[in-house]
Structure 1
């Protein structure tokens, strides 16, 4: 039986013309691999090898017949079943804290490029900043049988991710985690990619003092978020190196977001504290601080200097231009995927202080 005849006789496939439209309506098929093999006149094993990228050679004429049958039957292979059969997948999973945060979005862009170069598909999942949700997210990710996993989350001191990481490792995935340089333990059985959070904040504090600033406050984010704590601690350390002690009431905790920065800055101002320079532990918090300063009739950059951390590209047009610590976020995403795939990358990614108009003294 020819392929064409077998296809025409297949009970699960039909075509009809919608009256008056001239368009052909193709019914959706529930074709299986067995149907494809039967239509192509080959064995099930041959059809599987032809479609699933087996290393065992299949005669070219058989490949053509199988592919033609698959197209006509609109057969969609089960990618996960193929992965189980081959013992490997084409999936790299990126788990981020909050996909709407430009910090994580830039990391995702770099990770996507690295995955694409390797011929792999990047699947992005968010924990929405919920440490408890992280464990359930990792269990779901493990079900994809990914080849590699990158954890780019706002890790907390009491992270519940250890069991999920073990599950991923048990399924054969290599796991890379972005970790801070402040010395906190990273999840077990992961490859760490160290980000210079504490060192960058220390360097920023020293640079601001060297520019002539003497009166500071810190919008510290959430104290149990490792990145926030590392940056706040590093900044206080940098001031101390220049002989400046920061009073406890000049360090304000808050949520690691734009609204958190606005609330923390408002808290300072309404308590009668008007620092000469404010450091927010990430750029989006700094943007909230800029807005709060304006809300109180003051001009950021002139009445109160503001600095952030990350140098996210989406904030390039903020006025005044924001002093910050530049992290190569897209490169970090690329490095993380490359490390997960066994490539050599730098063990530590350092930040670079960038001073702009928001901290410029008149």
Structure 2
């Protein structure tokens, strides 16, 4: 028999085997003084029954139809910082307000789901998800009843809209730039898909295109980053590979630091490239990178969200925008004796 009323906090408490006050501490005080095991049981019970905690008074909730939510990854990463700023600007231009929740960059999905629950508790009209970690299947189970859109990450889930960067194209384009510079052997820094689905997609696309172009790619574990860049430099020397491919610019900067500490010149001794192209001063450093089309993606996303909020029965759409390669002195020809 179907439920005749929305689930309550007491229902969640009963299903999780805890008190109502414990459930309240989880949803209102961030789980203070609640064991991790109890928090997991509470969140699982809430998700199973479709419970969404209302964090605001009914008067504010009635006005929240002008509010949109944004779940964003750690804004210290320039890609997410730019996305955050552009989203605020575009939503304001649409005469709406944006409520954002930030997840830590080293979290693997737990706080992202909690952040979505917080946004839904604020009764936002729609949600943008700007993160490269939580799987689309988990997002689809978490957000129901309001429009949700993945922004900045390629997605093919049949129930979730997305406006994203074309990371497959970015990986292919970078491989072509590396081959055009004369490289036939490269080192590729790779991370688990759980760490970043975007990194994984970029690198797989790049390696596939390298293979087509006759460029051999030697994989090296990225994590932890400080050790990964050192391993990459060691392998590049051992394999006589003239270029190290980094999945993101902040890793390329760590590699430049590690190379300088070893007395290696870039690109005379080894070349390197990155992805994102959004950090201040990259032009002064001369890093060759692929710049993300953040503004275009955000504008498209906000326009599409307005269409979805109008209530039209629209088919799910997945849009992709391709960025631009920014040449830099960090990508040069292979050193003499390499590619042999």
Q: Distance in 1 between matches of 2:202 and 2:301?
A: 21
Q: Distance in 2 between matches of 1:302 and 1:157?
A: 41
Alignment correspondent of 1:243:
214
Alignment correspondent of 1:213:
183
Query: Structure 1 residues 91 and 85, CA, compared in 2 at 3 Å: closer, same or farther?
Result: closer
Which of 237, 252, 257 is residue 286 of structure 1 equivalent to?
252
Say if 1:109 and 1:333, in contact at 8 Å, map to a contact too.
no
Alignment correspondent of 1:327:
292
Question: Are residues 1:314 and 2:294 paired?
Answer: no
Count of residues paired in the alignment: 268
Alignment correspondent of 1:357:
329
Say if 2:184 and 2:214, in contact at 8 Å, map to a contact too.
no
Alignment correspondent of 1:163:
141
Say if 1:132 and 1:160, in contact at 8 Å, map to a contact too.
no
Question: Are residues 1:233 and 2:204 paired?
Answer: yes
Which of 88, 108, 112 is residue 84 of structure 2 equivalent to?
108
Please give the secondary structure, in 2, of the residue aligned with 1:251: strand
Question: Are residues 1:204 and 2:182 paired?
Answer: no
Say if 2:68 and 2:98, in contact at 8 Å, map to a contact too.
yes
Q: Distance in 1 between matches of 2:298 and 2:227?
A: 30
Q: Distance in 2 between matches of 1:358 and 1:80?
A: 55
TM (normalized to structure 2)?
Answer: 0.71
Which of 165, 170, 174 is residue 147 of structure 2 equivalent to?
174
TM (normalized to structure 1)?
Answer: 0.67
Q: Distance in 1 between matches of 2:199 and 2:152?
A: 12
Q: Distance in 2 between matches of 1:317 and 1:351?
A: 16
Give the structure with higher Rg (CA): 1
**Displacement of 1:157:** 4.9
Alignment correspondent of 1:8:
none
Tell me which of the two structures has the higher relative contact order, counting C-alpha pairs closer than 8 angstroms and 6 or more residues apart.
Answer: 2
Please give the secondary structure, in 2, of the residue aligned with 1:161: helix
Query: Structure 1 residues 194 and 137, CA, compared in 2 at 3 Å: closer, same or farther?
Result: same
**Displacement of 1:360:** 2.6
CA RMSD, aligned part only? 2.7
Alignment correspondent of 2:305:
340
Question: Are residues 1:134 and 2:151 paired?
Answer: no
- Structure 2 unpaired stretches of 5+: 1-54, 309-313, 335-340
